[in-house]
Amino acid sequence: QVQLVESGGGSVQTGESLRLSCVVSGTLDSKSCVAWFRQSPGKEREAVAAIKTNTGATYNADSVKGRFTISQDNAKVTVYLQMNNLKPEDTALYYCAARQFCYVLDSVLPTRYAYWGQGTQVTVSS
């Protein structure tokens, strides 16, 4: 019922920026959260950022604090991930995901997210 579609990935050089978009369709309850995860070869999938759709409260992983910003539009249809000062270690397949019954953002675990997009590749060259 819920569909997520990511876009905005690409290949950039170190220090450049990208903005990823995640369009959410279908029905999510008022307690939903939308998150960005990433996965690169040989590494576990990790949370990058998340947002509570009703309050706008956000979570950012330590590895991206100060560089990445998650946001949503007024209609809460699209969630963005603004990525600045990209580094080669940011290279990964980026997914957006959504979950319902998201009461707090004290942890962002992929196993708790039921709905996933197809992923968009971000490649950062040095």
| 54-87 pLDDT tens trace | 999 999 999 999 999 999 998 889 999 999 999 9
pLDDT of residue 29: 82
The closest of 51, 53, 58, 98 to 75, measured between CA atoms, is 53
pLDDT of residue 25: 94
Alpha-carbon separation of residue 34 from 4, 41, 87, 104, 114 (angstroms): 10, 24, 24, 12, 10
Average pLDDT value for the chain: 95
pLDDT of residue 28: 84
- Tell me: pLDDT of 90 over 80: yes
Do residues 20 and 9 make contact, with C-beta atoms less than 8 angstroms apart?
yes
What mean pLDDT is predicted for residues 30-48?
95
- Tell me: pLDDT of 107 over 90: no
Distance CA 31, CA 19 (A): 25
CB-based contacts of 88, cutoff 8 Å, min separation 6: 14, 124, 125, 126
